[in-house]
């Protein structure tokens, strides 16, 4: 299709996005960026990791999004004693027929809320890793495909909270975005007080979009145009995380390892989704800059020197974004 047809189709297809935002706004106060990132993940069929201290509505935001969609939803509370079979399922023996049958676990849903994901042991993380990357799980000798769409929306508390574990780098790389959830403003917190300080607060949202509408939107997202200059800009940003001294000698000893090629793919895909949400048929450099922190912050490993100086990955991404020329 030509540019005009694509623009018209996008303008018609993205009408559900304001409806979802409005519906989520009935239970969420503020957190507009968080809502945007959740919709980006939905449009990219990508998993999202939300990090913040307890009580910032991370779980509530995910439950509100699932309520807006006409899909299956499972909430899994990750704990230190969780087993892989609690996640994916197990084989059950039937003594009457002397056969084994698979009992599928809660991961067989469209949207998975992995609550406090960094409290689970390594075996559970490995089982989740297969599900996130391959969109399938292995139970016994058989492999089972997960439903489509399949989206893991995980929450975690900061690592310095007691009883948490560092997620493996391989698993972190599977998340499309890592979103940092911050405290609300005074005005938003006053609204939260007025709305939620009751014995019966509003926690429910109703379906406002179908799976068919989302599937159609995903197909259009894949058609959003990325100019060659913008593609080179994406590659240059990710490449700079690996060889930062080329643009800033001060970064030479601050980054231990840069982002993988998956960051390049995810940055382009997320930028396409952001353009679609704005009703555009093309990606702008500003789309890339807006999503740079969310795509890169969990894929850059700061050096011990950076950690000693309390330099965060967000600060490193800031410096990279400011040094790489914008087309």
Q: Which residues contact 127 (CB under 8 A, 6 or more apart)?
A: 84, 87, 88, 137
Instruction: Report the C-alpha gap between 210 and 208 in whole angstroms.
Output: 7
CATH number of 224-323: 1.10.8.80
Annotated domain spans of the chain: 15-192, 224-323
Q: From first to last of the 327 residues of the chain, give the pLDDT tens digit.
A: 677 787 888 888 888 899 988 888 888 888 888 889 999 999 998 899 988 887 788 888 888 888 888 788 888 888 888 888 888 888 787 888 777 777 888 888 888 888 888 888 878 888 888 888 888 888 877 888 988 888 888 888 776 566 677 777 878 888 999 998 888 888 888 888 887 777 776 677 888 888 888 888 998 999 899 999 999 999 999 999 888 888 878 777 888 888 889 999 999 999 999 999 988 889 999 999 999 999 998 888 888 888 888 888 888 888 888 888 888
| Consecutive H or E run containing 158 | none
**Quick one: tokens of 31?**
């957190």
Residue with tokens 């993380």: 125
pLDDT value at position 67? 86
CATH number of 15-192: 3.40.50.300
DSSP percent split of the chain into helix, strand, coil, nearest 5: 50, 15, 35
Q: Which residues of 42-68 are buried (b: 16+ CB within 10 A; e: fewer)?
A: bbbbbbbbbbbeeebbbbbbbbbbbbb
Distances (CA, A) of 99 to 92, 94, 105, 137: 8, 5, 19, 21
pLDDT value at position 194? 82
Number of Cβ atoms within 10 Å of the Cβ of 106: 16
Q: Residue 284 in contact with residue 275, Cβ under 8 Å?
A: yes
Helix axes 211-221, 16-24, angle to 10 degrees: 120
Q: Which residues contact 169 (CB under 8 A, 6 or more apart)?
A: 301
pLDDT value at position 160? 59
pTM of the model: 0.87
For residue 317, count CB atoms less than 10 angstroms from its CB and return exposed for 0-12, middle for 13-18, buried for 19 or more.
buried
Q: Residue 119 in contact with residue 78, Cβ under 8 Å?
A: yes
Instruction: Report the C-alpha gap between 145 and 111 in whole angstroms.
Output: 15
pLDDT value at position 162? 64
């Amino acid at each position: 299709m030509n540019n005009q047809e694509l623009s018209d189709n996008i303008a018609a297809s993205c009408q559900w996005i304001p409806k979802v935002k409005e519906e989520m706004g009935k239970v969420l106060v503020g957190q507009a960026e968080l809502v945007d990132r959740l919709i980006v993940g939905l449009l990219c069929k990508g998993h999202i990791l939300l990090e913040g201290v307890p009580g910032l509505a991370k779980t509530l935001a995910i439950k509100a999004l699932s309520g807006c969609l006409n899909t299956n939803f499972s909430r899994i509370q990750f704990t230190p004693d969780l087993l892989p079979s609690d996640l994916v399922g197990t084989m059950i023996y039937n003594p009457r027929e002397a056969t084994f049958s698979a009992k599928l676990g809660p991961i067989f849903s469209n949207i998975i809320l992995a609550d406090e994901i960094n409290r689970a042991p390594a075996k559970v993380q490995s089982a989740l890793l297969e599900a996130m990357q391959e969109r399938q799980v292995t139970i016994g000798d058989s492999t089972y495909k997960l439903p489509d769409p399949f989206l893991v929306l995980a929450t975690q508390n900061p690592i310095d909270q007691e009883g948490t574990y560092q997620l493996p780098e391989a698993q972190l790389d599977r998340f499309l975005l890592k979103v940092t959830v911050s405290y609300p403003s005074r005005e938003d917190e006053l609204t939260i007080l007025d709305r939620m300080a009751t014995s019966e607060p509003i926690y429910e949202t109703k379906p406002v979009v179908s799976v068919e509408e989302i599937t159609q939107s995903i197909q259009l997202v894949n058609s959003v145009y990325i100019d060659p200059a913008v593609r080179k800009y994406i590659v240059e940003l990710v490449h700079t995380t690996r060889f930062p001294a080329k643009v800033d000698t001060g970064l030479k000893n601050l980054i231990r390892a840069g982002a993988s090629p998956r960051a390049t793919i995810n940055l382009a895909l997320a930028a396409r989704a952001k353009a679609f949400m704005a009703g555009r048929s093309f990606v702008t450099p500003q789309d890339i800059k807006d999503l740079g922190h969310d795509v890169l912050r969990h894929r850059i490993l700061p050096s011990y020197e950076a950690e000693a100086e309390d330099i965060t990955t967000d600060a490193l991404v800031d410096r990279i974004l400011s040094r790489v020329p914008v087309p």
